[in-house]
Structure 1
């Protein structure tokens, strides 16, 4: 999974900002995501929660799909949104809901 992410970043970002590829591939994908103390599913849950809480809607589609690939269920993702209402605010969650809905719909087809 991390090799796929690194390849995707290289293809989409490499010609524009090679340094971003280097710092994304090595410290993020190889060092952080492969640490054994959290399972990939849990790291994905934390990542999606942080994106929603900080209003980074453009990144949610990719990371929510990855979270679900890593074992997060639709029910758990829904509950995450409910929990985040109180900790990150209604506007952040309401901005994320259409993105989550689209991810859920595309994954059930």
Structure 2
């Protein structure tokens, strides 16, 4: 079995690219060189098949994604998704802060304190760009 047999079709990659751009709203650019197979799989599966499903909107998927990221304590990825959510109008500043407050009850202060710091950084960054 060649590596090419597991890669998504060009059509799925194109659809995934459209959804990726809508999800991240310019916060993330294209994958760097050397990551093309990884990026093709991500675009063809996660975005063309996952985020594009109509059963949940981007806001709902974003909230689920933010909760998942918070659970593993990845403040940098939290910042990327939060910035995209704020720029895309999926969350307000107040809602972003409330997400951290709510998650603190389930994840604990040590896990969410870094998220709160990142949240404030991103809110300030988005406000400065407005």
TM-score range, shorter chain: 0.7 to 0.9
The 1-side partners of 2:20 and 2:70 are apart by 25
Gaps of at least 5 residues in structure 2 are 1-17
Q: Are 1:97 and 2:93 matched, yes or no?
A: no
Q: Are 1:2 and 2:9 matched, yes or no?
A: no
Q: Are 1:82 and 2:75 matched, yes or no?
A: no
8 Å CA contact retained: 1:44, 1:63: yes
Q: Structure 1 residue 70: deviation in Å?
A: 4.4
Q: Which runs of 4+ in 1 moved over 6 A?
A: none
Q: Are 1:34 and 2:67 matched, yes or no?
A: no
* Count, aligned residues: 106
The 2-side partners of 1:103 and 1:58 are apart by 11
Q: Per-residue CA shift, 1:58-99, capped at 9, x if unaligned?
A: 211211012221421111111111111111121111011111
Residue 18 of structure 1 is matched in structure 2 by: 36
Residue 77 of structure 2 is matched in structure 1 by: 59
Gaps of at least 5 residues in structure 1 are none
Cα RMSD after superposing both structures: 1.9
- TM-score (norm: length of structure 1): 0.85
